[in-house]
Amino acid sequence: MFKRVMIKISGETLAGGGAGAFDRETPRRVAREIFGVMESGAEVAVVVGGGNLWRGRDASPSMDKIKADQIGMMATVMNGIFLADTFRSETGGRSVVMTPFDINNFTSRFSVEEAVKLLREKVLPVFAGGTGHPFFSTDSAVAIRACELQADAVLFGKSVDGVYDDDPKINPGARRYRSVSYKTVLSKNLEVADISAMALLAKENIPSFVFGLKSIGGIAAACAAVKGEAPFDGAVIGADVPDEFYAD
């Protein structure tokens, strides 16, 4: 029975396609959608990325990889605090930013027990700081947290509208999947999330729902798809689902 979901919110979506680091309206809409899902009875947790502020691949080639990744972790903390405050001001709901390392009184230290307690109290945990280790992305963090919290599904809110068999920005003939197995995602190295994250979700048999976060109502639609209550315009990834494309 559907009860608990993890939502990955990429940093790029918080920028809303604008020139600044934050677009006010996109986080407000996302906060309202998450609150609506929580009001329906679901437990929701969020992992936030930092790509609107810093991407490790944009660092100077001479920069130490570990330091670049540490800056990225701090970028996600900034986004987490911003998103949690937006959730509070927009909906009146409670939200707590949790990190895998201590930042004095800025955030709470992550623990499974405390996160579960927050979920049961209808508080939104926002997980920032990635895994707390370099060489791992926030995709890995969302997979690990989903396993730790025994989530029913992971929702990947992205800047694109689903999963393609090639990069649609480069290949206009790229086909969009309606559903795709983890085996295909891994064997074809489809750019959904880090391979390590996909492998872990496949191993633990946790399905993923990939959708464009820019679309209004995308979070609610993904949750309805998890419950099997409505058709889904994104892509469903699972262990036993067929590889099926949308019609041209």
Closest CA to 153 of 34, 48, 45, 4: 4
C-alpha to C-alpha distances, 167 to 45, 82, 132, 176, 236, nearest whole angstrom: 29, 31, 30, 10, 18
Rounded Cα distance, 110 and 125, in Å: 10
pLDDT for residue 51 is more than 90 = no
Instruction: Supply the pLDDT for residue 1.
Output: 54
Mean pLDDT of 69-94: 95
In this structure, are strands 244-245 and 177-181 parallel, antiparallel, or unpaired? antiparallel
What is the pLDDT of the chain when averaged over all its residues?
Answer: 91
Residue range 161-177, pLDDT digits in tens: 899 999 888 998 999 99
C-alpha to C-alpha distances, 246 to 14, 35, 39, 92, 234, nearest whole angstrom: 28, 30, 32, 39, 10
Cβ count near 68 (within 10 Å): 17
Instruction: Supply the pLDDT for residue 35.
Output: 96
221 burial type by CB count under 10 A (0-12 exposed, 13-18 middle, 19+ buried): buried
* Residue 227 CA neighbour count, 13 Å, CB half: 14
The CATH architecture to which 4-245 belongs is: 3-Layer(aba) Sandwich (3.40)
Is 0.85 surpassed by the pTM of this model?
yes
**DSSP E strand boundaries for 24-67:** 43-48
Domain ranges of the chain: 4-245
Rounded Cα distance, 247 and 156, in Å: 22
147 burial type by CB count under 10 A (0-12 exposed, 13-18 middle, 19+ buried): middle
Instruction: Supply the pLDDT for residue 16.
Output: 64
pLDDT for residue 2 is more than 60 = yes
For residue 58, which phi and psi values (nearest 5 degrees)? Answer: -90, -5
pLDDT for residue 20 is more than 70 = no
User: Helices then strands (H, E): number in the chain?
Assistant: 8, 10
Mean pLDDT of 60-72: 90
- Burial of 99-122, coded b for 16+ CB within 10 Å and e otherwise, reads bbeeeeeebbebeeeebbebbeee
In this structure, are strands 4-9 and 153-158 parallel, antiparallel, or unpaired? parallel
